[in-house]
Amino acid sequence: MSADVELDCRDLPCPRPIIELAKALPGVPVGGLLAVVARDPAARYDVPAWCRMRGQEYVGEEAADDGAPRYVVKRLS
């Protein structure tokens, strides 16, 4: 699925992908989608946990074109 904002954090170790998510969120319209591509295995758990802690919606995980995990978040507030 396409997102309003796309972050490439392929080669960043956690917590950097989560930090980038937090920085990018204000640029996403409420109700819009924010996607982050991250290879770090911690992102699989930390993106949903960040959504829970920050009151955003975790939409799910997909694979990017090169197979890297891509996590999609919906801005709720």
Partner 1 sequence: MSRTTEVYLDSASSARLHPAARDTLLAALERGYADPRRLHGPGRDARLLLDNARAVVAECLGVRPDEVGFTSSGTEGVHRGLLGLTTATGRDGIVHGAVEHSSVLHVVQWRDSPAHASIPVDADGVVDVDALAAAARAAGVGAVALQAANQEVGTLQPVDALDLPAGVPLLVDAAAAVGHVDLPRRWDALTASAHKWGGPAGVGVLVVRRGTRWTNPFPGDDGLDQVGGFPDVPAALAAAAALQAVLCEREEVAARQFAQVERVRSAAAALPDVEVVGHPVQRLPHLVTFSVLYAGGDEIVAALAREGYGVASGSACTASTLEPSHVLAAMGALTHGNVRVSLSRDTTDEEVDGFCAALARVVGEIRAGAGL
Active site residues: 14
> Considering only 3-11, 27-35, 41-49, 65-73, which stretch makes contact with partner 1 by CB under 8 A?
41-49
Token pair recorded at residue 65: 């074109």
Residue 46 binds partner 1, judged by CB under 8 A: yes
22 binds partner 1 (CB under 8 A): yes
DSSP 52: H
Rule CB under 8 A: say whether 25 interacts with partner 1.
Answer: no
Q: What CA–CA distance (Å, rounded) separates 69 from 77?
A: 25
Omega of the bond leading into 41 within 30 degrees of 0 (cis) = no
Footprint on this chain of partner 1 (rule: CB under 8 A):
13-15, 18-19, 22-23, 40-42, 44-46, 48-50, 52-54
